[in-house]
Amino acid sequence: MANKPKFYITTPIYYPSDKLHIGHTYCTVATDAIARYKRLKGFDVMFLTGTDEHGQKIEDKAAEAGVTPKEFVDNIVEGEHGVKDLWKLMNISNDRFIRTTDDYHVAAIQKIFKKMYDNGDIYKGVYKGKYCKPCESFWTESQLVDGKCPDCGREVQDAEEEAYFFRLSKYADRVRDLLVNTDFLEPRSRVHEMVNNFIDPGLEDLCVSRTSFTWGIPVDFDPGHVVYVWVDALSNYITALGYDNDKYADFDKYWPADVHIVGKEIVRFHSIIWPAMLMSLGLPLPKKVFGHGWLLLDGGKMSKSKGNVVDPYLLSEKFGVDALRFFLMRTFPFGSDGNFSNELLIQTINTDLANDLGNLLSRTTAMADKYFGGVLGEGAGATEDENYLNGLYAQARQSRSEVQLAFNFPEGDPVKYDVELIRAALELREKYEDAMEHYAPHTALAEVFRVIDRANKYIDENAPWALAKDMEQNSARLAHVLYNLLEVTRICGVLLQPFMPESCAKLFAQIGAAENVRTWESAAQWGALDPCAAVHKGENLFPRVDMDKALAELEEAEAAARKAALPPIELEPQLTENVDFDTFCKSDLRAVKVKACEHVKKSAKLLRFTLDDGTGADRQILSGIAAYYEPEQLVGKTLVAIVNLPPRKMMGLESQGMLLSAVHTEHGEEKLNLIMVSDDIPAGAKLC
Ligand code: MSP
């Protein structure tokens, strides 16, 4: 197609400081669905995502892991279950992936910084203020909330150093105007937040270089300074198109961006700092920033440090990638926060996918198969009246008017059901489009599912199984009913493609929908499906999930993952205080042989040992190790006991000493091993 309209859409570029979780997946899947929707509509889409790899947090994490920062980020971006792997798994259709450590980006940032320095918007001064390390954000005293970072609530540090500043204050009025008087930032509630909390209290100049760490892009004309990570990160949206570099050459084609999709906590950077930087560079502004809400867990933000992140790998492995993508987009209004739970996920799969869509598809294809051998035949397609209705809708779309129908069918008249179904299907694309254009994918999906519900009701209204009892009489009607069902399934399938691309391809194969009836245009055409196409009931695309079983399995897997994330081995710290030799020698350590061992009645912990300590008399020791050993395993073993501790009573029994064991913690669990020595050592031998 000549001169396709362009659409440039971006996600935030992710910090590869930890593995990504379902919250990041939410943001990327939403952007992907919008990008796919635009492609479906015929746009030439540029969809960019990537990683934001500089900053002190990454430098610190790498040092903790004992690797260089580059090795550290390489592993999280390119490694197994890394960022790129995750997007591949989630079927993300990004056209480009930028890493801020890419050479072309680094060189371009140096040029961008220099341009703003040369035009006087960046100047050198002294930075005094507060710095939130985890957020890599500078704050003034007045911006702090209860003395803490206003974004994450954590402690901030005093900071004072020579630094470069960006004249953000100079752009305050223009940015305010942009936010208040245009629809640059959505949802609208975020505009009030930005204006009231940041602009109106007075925009101060922004510190845009650091000297206290080195993992950043060096300011090439002043060694020792690295570029503030947000200046580096935000510019990715233009460097990835080739701005100030030769790696790409489509800046003129795609800039300005049509939309930056971002989470609500980074709206400030995208709606204040970014436009001001672009104004300074003399570049056109993006058309829109959309600030979506957070996926919460138990009402709070997910975070690695709280140990409450949800793993997208685990969920997609269990329920399928498309089911997970669908759930994320169907359930949570995009502009608001939403509470994630496994129950909600399974419920959505069972209700919408297994019951509604799954049943519609499998019942319809099964009946087409059973009653017509999979081919309904020419006569089953749209009737003349239905074609006329189709035409009316096409005209109304062109003239932007509404279709008014004055029919009044009596209840029970099959034509009434047909017309209702066909109208619902013909009106769907416009409603869907309206929602998608307003960044409300959840509403778009709700519209699709309203039509799917209508179609399921149509099955009950027409009771095809009853019609099938008299094929001679009803064959034509039955074929038409099934055709209508296939057609409505097709139209819904076309519009579900951006959300569940793989499942829709399978759905189309089952209903015999050729490529030319999978298109955006065909989603507004009734009767486009070939009534002679071969329909076959294939695999069940959306199997029902057993809620209790799946929840138990998820809980187990999540517990195992939490455990695996704990340090593999933790040791008691060594004592630093010396013990003098004579004191040490006062402990009488002896080899002892286990003559008998049994559980102490009514105690879950204690084992009672009868030991040969070489004196000829039995020694009884009680030891709290029942969780680690079965008594019979220990009989005959040679252990080590300290025999000159004062006797002690436990559960009414006397313990004459203590058995030595080694203890450590493994993945958060305490482990204990009795010290066993060679059986060649006689009972009573002294250990020294
Ligand atoms: N590196 C910056 C973005 C720079 S863009 C020039 C950053 N990275 S991030 O990895 O911390 O977050 C990336 C995106 O994921 C943000 O939009 C953030 O809002 C989103 N999410 C992270 N956790 C989230 C949820 N729990 N829920 C929804 N989105 C969340 O910020």
Q: How far is the CA of 591 from the centre of ligand 1 (A)?
A: 60
Maximal C-alpha separation, the chain: 109
Strand partners, 674: 661
Q: How far is the CA of 23 from the centre of ligand 1 (A)?
A: 8
**Ligand 1 mean position to 19 CA, how many Å?**
12
- CA 89 to centroid of ligand 1, rounded, Å: 19
- Check if 116 has its Cβ closer than 6 Å to any atom of ligand 1: no
Q: Give yes or no for a contact between 372 and 516, defined as CB atoms under 8 angstroms apart.
A: no
Average pLDDT over residues 350-354: 98
Assess whether pLDDT exceeds 90 at residue 477. Answer: yes
State both tokens at 492: 């819904």
Q: Which amino acid is at 160?
A: E
Nearest C-alpha neighbor of 456 from the set 352, 383, 526, 527: 352
> What pLDDT score was predicted for residue 586?
92
Other C-beta atoms within 10 Å of 304: how many?
A: 12
| Site to substitute for ligand 1 among 9, 58, 238, 266, most atoms within 8 A of C-beta | 266
Tokens 């939490």 belong to which residue? Answer: 562
Per-residue pLDDT, averaged over 2-26, amounts to 93
516 pLDDT band (50/70/90 cuts)?
very high
Question: For the chain, how big is the Rg over CA atoms in Å?
Answer: 34
529 near 492, Cβ under 8 Å?
Answer: no
Pocket probe mutation, ligand 1, options 10, 13, 14, max atoms within 8 Å of Cβ: 14
pLDDT at 127: 83
Residue 118, pLDDT score: 98
So what's the pLDDT on residue 151?
Answer: 81
| Nearest protein CA to atom 16 of ligand 1, as residue | 263
Residue with tokens 């918007």: 121
CA-to-CA separations, 370 to 361, 363, 456, 513, in angstroms, rounded: 14, 10, 19, 19
| DSSP bridge pairs for 650 | 653
pLDDT confidence of residue 565: 74
Query: Tens digits of per-residue pLDDT, 145-199?
Result: 889 988 888 999 888 888 999 999 999 999 999 999 999 999 999 999 999 999 9
Tell me the CA–centroid distance for residue 301 and ligand 1, in Å.
Answer: 11
Q: What is the pLDDT of residue 150?
A: 84
Q: Are 70 and 527 in contact (CB under 8 A)?
A: no
CA of 271 to the centre of ligand 1 (A): 15
Nearest CA to ligand 1 atom 26: 23
What is the whole-number distance in angstroms between the Cα of residue 24 and the centre of ligand 1? 6
Q: What is the mean pLDDT of the chain?
A: 94
Write the pLDDT tens digit of every residue in 610-639. 999 999 999 999 999 999 999 999 999 999
**With a 6 A CB cut-off, is 73 part of the ligand 1 pocket?**
no
Q: How confident is the model at residue 685 (pLDDT cuts 50, 70, 90)?
A: very high
Alpha carbons 532 and 512: distance in angstroms, whole number? 9
Q: How far is the CA of 188 from the centre of ligand 1 (A)?
A: 20
Tens of pLDDT along 594-607? 999 999 999 999 99
The DSSP line for 222-258 is STT-EE-HHHHHHTHHHHTTTTTSSS---HHHHPSPS
Above 80 in pLDDT, residue 567? no
**pTM above 0.75?**
yes
Average pLDDT over residues 119-141: 86
pLDDT > 90 in the chain, percent = 84
**Measured from the CB, is residue 23 less than 6 Å from ligand 1?**
yes
Residue 407's pLDDT is 75
What digits encode the pLDDT tens for the residues 292-349? 999 999 888 887 666 677 899 999 999 999 999 999 999 999 999 999 999 999 999 9
pLDDT value of position 405: 80
Which residue of 11, 27, 58, 232 sits with most ligand 1 atoms within 8 Å of its CB, as the best mutation to test the pocket?
Answer: 27
Res 655: pLDDT: 97
Ligand 1 within 6 A of CB of 289: no
Nearest CA to 495 out of 515, 522, 523, 517 is that of 523
Whether 561 shows a pLDDT value over 90: the answer reads no
Q: Is the CB of 257 under 6 A from ligand 1?
A: no
CA distance 518 to 168: 49
- For residue 138, what pLDDT band results from cuts at 50, 70 and 90? confident
Atom 10 in ligand 1: residue holding the nearest Cα: 14
- In sequence order, which residues have a C-beta less than 8 Å from that of residue 488 and are 6 or more positions away? 421, 424, 425, 451, 452, 454, 455, 458
Q: Using CB atoms within 10 Å of the CB of residue 425, give its burial: 0 to 12 exposed, 13 to 18 middle, 19+ buried.
A: buried
Q: Which residue stretches of 90-245 are H helix?
A: 103-118, 172-181, 188-194, 229-234, 236-239
Q: Report the b/e string of 562-587 with b at 16+ CB within 10 A.
A: eeeeeeeeeeeeeeeeeeeeeeeeee
Q: Which atom of ligand 1 is nearest to the CA of 24?
A: 15
Q: What is the pLDDT of residues 379-433, one digit of tens each?
A: 999 999 999 999 999 999 999 898 888 778 888 888 999 999 999 999 999 999 9
Instruction: Kindly give the distance from the C-alpha atom of residue 294 to the centroid of ligand 1, in angstroms, as a whole number.
Output: 9
CA of 310 to the centre of ligand 1 (A): 15
Q: How far is the CA of 12 from the centre of ligand 1 (A)?
A: 6
Considering only CA atoms, which of 273, 131, 156 is closest in space to residue 204? 273
Name which residue sits closest to atom 6 of ligand 1, judged by CA. 234
512: left (phi over 0), alpha (psi -120 to 50) or beta: left
pLDDT recorded at residue 337: 95
Q: Please count the other Cβ atoms lying within 10 Å of the Cβ belonging to residue 308.
A: 16
Residue 139 has pLDDT above 90, yes or no: no
Name which of 645, 647, 646, 606 is nearest 626 in CA terms: 606
